[in-house]
């Protein structure tokens, strides 16, 4: 157990929401019920992902009811769950950060137990595992296959990458920048800044959806393979992309070179005609492809250097019609909800 007690840590809870107007009131109530026994200061950050319904109005109404520790952030348009989650993490002020979905399927009551476990096991990330998942059979099937594929490809062995209920040390998760639809790969990205041994999982409860339907869809499951390739590249070659492209270029160049060397030998020593041989055209093609890959590697190295030397941009824009809540208060133990 860490020398510091759990109550010594401030906590930020981040919830991305999109078209969840019916879920807002019960969600705020359940968060306050679930955190009633938490003895440290905490805040709730609800990120409206450009909803066109009354989600943001309901959130502002709830913030007025519960207090300034309920912070509302609105994105200028719908950027997707990953960008909304990143916006909440950027705004978080706590030593620890918890994330969960806004559809009432995650139970906020699991958060205090997960925080205790995070500290007891000395982890940087504790991932929720929906062992008894209440979703459509087809959705569960494709999700399981995606989880197995990610585990094998990345070496970060977890059962449920897609569960949004996670707790982190803020000092770690704030080193990770999320773009595109990479929220499913958060444990893998975290493994890029800390040891995989400091990433764990724990079984959490999962409830049937009470209102509406999933806003982020089954279709994202089919994009996992493409995203996985991107994750693999960035984790292994982000700082040295020239090695990735250069290795491919050298391989093609070596094969093409052997072909042309063979043709040169039979031309010089045996006098055979090689002008119309397919092997000649293939060898030349491989040499050209080799040069292209190696040139791409040099350009990628220049771009990587520019990336690391420049300020990292954001994948979202905040709306201007919501007051800045960065100086908001904290929910303190004993404060009425």
Instruction: Based on the fold, state whether residues 79 and 197 are members of the same structural domain.
Output: yes
Per-residue pLDDT tens over the stretch 117-148? 999 999 999 999 988 876 667 667 767 777 77
- How far apart CA 96 and CA 94 sit, in angstroms, is 5
Instruction: Based on the fold, state whether residues 34 and 133 are members of the same structural domain.
Output: yes
Decide: pTM greater than 0.85: no
Alpha helix positions (H), 51-180: 55-66, 81-91, 110-120, 137-154, 170-173
Sheet holding 70-74, edge to edge: 70-74, 42-48, 11-17, 96-99, 166-169, 125-129, 199-203
Find how far residue 238's CA is from the centre of its chain: 16
Instruction: Based on the fold, state whether residues 245 and 149 are members of the same structural domain.
Output: no
Per-residue pLDDT tens over the stretch 14-29? 999 999 999 999 999 9
Find how far residue 297's CA is from the centre of its chain: 26
CB 51 within 8 A of CB 17: yes
Per-residue pLDDT tens over the stretch 147-173? 777 777 777 888 888 788 999 999 999
Instruction: Based on the fold, state whether residues 46 and 126 are members of the same structural domain.
Output: yes
Q: Residue 316 domain-assigned?
A: no
Range of the domain at 18: 6-237
Percentage of the chain exceeding pLDDT 90? 49
Strands annotated E in 18-105: 42-48, 70-74, 96-99
pLDDT value for 138: 67
CA dihedral (159, 161, 166, 171) positive or negative: positive
Instruction: Based on the fold, state whether residues 164 and 258 are members of the same structural domain.
Output: no
Q: Residue 74 domain-assigned?
A: yes
Instruction: Based on the fold, state whether residues 167 and 38 are members of the same structural domain.
Output: yes
CA atoms within 13 A on the CB side of 243: 7
pLDDT value for 2: 46
CB 299 within 8 A of CB 313: no
3-state secondary structure of 66: helix
Q: Residue 48 domain-assigned?
A: yes
Q: Residue 317 domain-assigned?
A: no
Q: How many domains does the chain have?
A: 2
């Amino acid at each position: 157990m860490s020398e510091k007690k759990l109550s010594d840590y401030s906590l930020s809870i981040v919830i991305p929401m999109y078209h969840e107007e019916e879920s807002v009131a019960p969600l705020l109530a359940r968060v306050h019920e679930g955190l009633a026994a938490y003895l440290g200061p905490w805040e709730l950050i609800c990120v409206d992902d450009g909803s066109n319904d009354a989600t943001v109005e309901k959130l502002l109404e709830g913030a007025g009811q519960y207090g300034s520790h309920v912070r509302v952030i609105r994105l200028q348009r719908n950027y997707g769950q990953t960008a909304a989650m990143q916006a909440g993490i950027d705004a978080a002020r706590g030593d620890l950060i918890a994330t969960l979905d806004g559809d009432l399927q995650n139970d906020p009551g699991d958060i205090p137990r997960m925080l205790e476990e995070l500290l007891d096991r000395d982890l940087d990330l504790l991932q929720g595992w929906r062992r008894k998942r209440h979703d459509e059979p087809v959705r569960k099937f494709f999700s399981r296959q995606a989880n197995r594929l990610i585990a094998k490809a990345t070496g970060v062995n977890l059962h449920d990458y897609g569960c949004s209920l996670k707790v982190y040390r803020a000092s770690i998760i704030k080193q990770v920048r999320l773009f595109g639809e990479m929220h499913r790969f958060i444990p893998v990205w975290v493994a890029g800044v800390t040891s995989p041994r400091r990433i764990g999982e724990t079984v959490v409860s999962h409830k049937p959806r009470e209102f509406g339907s999933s806003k982020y869809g089954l279709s994202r499951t089919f994009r996992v393979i493409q995203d996985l390739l991107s994750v693999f590249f960035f984790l292994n070659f982000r700082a040295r992309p020239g090695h990735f492209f250069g290795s491919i270029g050298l391989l093609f160049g070596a094969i093409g070179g052997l072909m042309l060397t063979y043709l040169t030998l039979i031309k010089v020593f045996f006098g055979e005609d090689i002008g119309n041989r397919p092997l000649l055209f293939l060898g030349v093609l491989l040499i050209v492809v080799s040069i292209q890959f190696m040139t791409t590697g040099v350009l990628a190295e220049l771009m990587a250097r520019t990336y690391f030397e420049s300020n990292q941009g954001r994948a979202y824009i905040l709306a201007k019609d919501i007051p800045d809540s960065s100086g908001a208060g904290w929910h303190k133990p004993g404060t009425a909800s």
